Amino acid sequence: MKKRAIIFDFGKVIIDYDLTRFTKKISALCNETSYKIFDFVFEGTLNKSFDRGDLTPNEFFEKIATNFSLNITFDNFVPMWNDIFKPIPETEKILMELKKNYRLGLLSNTNALHFPYALNKYPAVTLLNDYHLSYKMRTIKPEEKIYKQVIDFYNCKPQELFYIDDLEWNVEAARKLGIESVVFITPEQLKIDLKKAAIL
């Protein structure tokens, strides 16, 4: 069965990232360690709420600035928040090859600051046809409804989609709904997986 679309996760699959680049910059502006900042932003509910679209960018900034008594503006904050990414050239090559024969989609837990920044800065992101973004969908992986929204978008059987994500629990959630899915380890392994699935 030819796939209707090949769906990619964003972070650690198409674009790499390092969250500590952000937390270290914030740490330099206050009396808290990078570890404590990481815990507050990423280990609790704050970043999930931002990814889900429950917080505006300004509200997200205000919560961080208030908690750590930061004397910076929103405009100061945004570049620090966004400066965490770097491209994965090997994945970009795979996208270029797949684009010749398949519709390509992105399914990402992301937010209203990171995604527009990445779309503008990294050509690999522009290779995708469709963008399924958690902050617009108002749900995050691995919640079932985010995958159902994707299936509905393509108006197809789950088996007609192929999904790639670096997190096992996100892949398992997709598989439960019948979406053929693989865990991304390296671009080289992805090529092997795509060939096994008769996609490459």
The predicted structure's pLDDT at residue 164: 99
pLDDT tens-digit series, residues 138-171: 999 999 999 999 999 999 999 999 999 999 999 9
Number of structural domains found in the chain: 2
* Res. 44: pLDDT tops 90: yes
Percent of the chain with pLDDT over 90: 98
Q: Could you say which of 51, 82, 113 is where a domain stops?
A: 82
Taking residues 106-121, report their average pLDDT.
98
Q: Which residues sit opposite 103 in a β-bridge?
A: 5
Task: Tell whether the model's pLDDT for residue 98 goes beyond 90.
Answer: yes
Provide the residue range defining the domain that includes 10.
5-16+87-196
Regarding whether 160 and 106 lie in a shared domain, the answer is yes
Q: What is the mean pLDDT of residues 119-134?
A: 98
Amino acid 95: pLDDT: 98
Nearest to 186 by CA among 16, 1, 6: 16
Output the domain CATH number for residue 60.
1.10.150
Which residue, of 64, 82, 100, is where some domain finishes?
A: 82
Task: Return the CATH number at 98.
Answer: 3.40.50.1000
pLDDT of residue 88: 98
Joined tokens for residue 102:
């398949």
Q: Which of 67, 75, 59, 57 has the alpha carbon at shortest distance from 23? A: 67
Average pLDDT, the chain: 98
Task: Examine the domain organization and report whether 132 and 159 are in the same domain.
Answer: yes
Measured between alpha carbons, how far apart are the two ends of the chain, in Å?
14
Q: Are residues 187 and 153 in the same domain?
A: yes
Position 1 confidence tier, pLDDT thresholds 50, 70, 90: confident
Select from 60, 82, 104 the last residue of a domain: 82
* Whether residue 100 sits in one domain with residue 178: yes
| Residue-wise DSSP of 29-93 | TSSS-HHHHHIIIIISSHHHHHHTTSS-HHHHHHHHHHHTT----HHHHHHHHHTTEEE-HHHHH
pTM value is 0.97
pLDDT band at residue 116 under the 50/70/90 scheme: very high
